[in-house]
Amino acid sequence: MNEERELAINPIVQTSVQHNTQVVSNIRNLTASLFGVAAGTLGLESYPGFIFYLIGTFIVSGLVFVFRAEGKPSEYFHRPLGDLWGGDVFSGLSSFVLTWTLFYGLVRA
């Protein structure tokens, strides 16, 4: 009940939430493709490639945290931990695999 009242006093506007999610997912998709290009050019195979992707997304999360959210993620995200750090990690994986395969095939194999 208390939380409900808090939400009524400080409402969360759905449009803004959608816009924030859109911005973050755009950044994630673009960087995932670029990480794929990098991993393919470096010739990473199997586990190192996926670890490269995980490290890359973590760095991107940090950059979003510092530059886009200005160090205060609770002002931009409903649940900062899930939406910024954890949520979108695997959404860019398919485009990462696509560009990774393409550039690996072009450069190495």
Partner 1 sequence: MAQPVVQTIHRDPALFWWILLPITVVMILTGILRHYAMILLQTAPKKQMLPQIRQQRSLVRGINLRTNANILSPSSFQARKVFMVSAYQDGKFLADPEARGKPRPNPMSDPAAMEGMMGMMKGNMAMMIPQTLIMGWINAFFSGFVIMKLPFPLTPQFKSMLQSGVGTRDLDVRWVSSLSWYFLTLFGLQPVYTFILGSNNSASQVTQQMSQMNPGAGLMGPEQDPDKLFLNEAENLEVLEHRWILDGVEDRLLARLSA
State the residues that interact with partner 1 by CB under 8 A: 5, 8-9, 22, 26, 29-30, 32-33, 39-40, 44-46, 49-50, 92, 94-95, 97-102, 104-106, 108-109
Query: Which CB, 77 or 104, lies closer to partner 1?
Result: 104
Closer to partner 1 by CB, 47 or 67: give it.
Answer: 47
In 1-109, where does DSSP find H-type helix?
A: 2-9, 14-42, 46-63, 80, 93-107
CB atoms within 10 A of CB 96: 28
Smallest gap from residue 25 Cβ to partner 1 (A): 8
Q: What whole-number distance in Å separates Cα of residue 70 and Cα of residue 1?
A: 31
